[in-house]
Amino acid sequence: MTTLLVIAKQPLPGRVKTRLTPPFTPQQAARLAEAALADTLHTVAAAPATRRVLVLDGAPGDWLPAGFEVLPQCAGGLDERLADAFAHCSGPALLIGMDTPQVTPELLTVDFADCDAYLGPAEDGGFWALGLAEPDPALLRGVPMSTPGTGAAQRERLETAGLRVCELPRLRDVDTAADARAVAALAPHGRFAARLADCTPVSPR
């Protein structure tokens, strides 16, 4: 089976989901981030895996379910931090972030029998998931992150290395208030949707 990695930040006001402010306050944005992270971690806990690892910038809280190893993120850009996460894996691994609380265990149940890598494109041009049958940090280092071309650049890196790439369904990250509403509608019974329903925007958007 596969190691499942979640890369995340501790959900503290002013450090997470800053594009949600406005219309939400930093405190509301942090609570939304915590709910998204909790939904993601509980989904990972329900998916088959040999290891479940949270690669965390910050300290864990009561939102962390049992059964996870916690590793600190390394210093450097996002490409370096993702590369380092894979460096802690010795077999097939799938990495996701904390921005897609609508993810399901089925989406995380991958089979590397017919491909060497999985890429889950995000609607903003990035990617929400990356899976490697043989984790190699060099496949991520130097890939430009957080741009509209990140997903395409990562796919090109994988294909240039001669890997057979399978594509996961396209998902929407939670970055803006519009994203939050759309994602909550896709997973109306989750923690994220419930938390969003409790948040009253301080300004319209």
Per-residue pLDDT reduced to its tens digit, 68-82: 999 999 999 999 999
State the average pLDDT over residues 86-93: 97
Per-residue pLDDT reduced to its tens digit, 126-136: 999 999 999 99
Look-up of token digits 């509209």: 148
Mean pLDDT of the chain, nearest integer: 96
Q: In a 3-state reduction of DSSP, which class is residue 197?
A: helix
Instruction: Please enumerate in sequence order all residues whose Cβ is within 8 A of that of 41, keeping only pairs 6 or more positions apart, or say none.
Output: 6, 54, 63, 64, 65, 68
Per-residue pLDDT reduced to its tens digit, 172-187: 999 999 999 999 999 9
162 confidence band (pLDDT: 50, 70, 90): very high
**Is the predicted pLDDT of residue 12 greater than 70, yes or no?**
yes
Q: Give the global pTM.
A: 0.96
Q: What confidence score (pLDDT) does residue 108 get?
A: 98
Q: What confidence score (pLDDT) does residue 201 get?
A: 80
Q: What confidence score (pLDDT) does residue 65 get?
A: 97
**Is the predicted pLDDT of residue 141 greater than 80, yes or no?**
yes
Q: Fill in the amino acid letter for 202.
A: V
**Is the predicted pLDDT of residue 61 greater than 60, yes or no?**
yes
Tokens of 24: 């939400």
Per-residue pLDDT reduced to its tens digit, 186-201: 999 999 999 999 998 8
**Is the predicted pLDDT of residue 204 greater than 70, yes or no?**
no
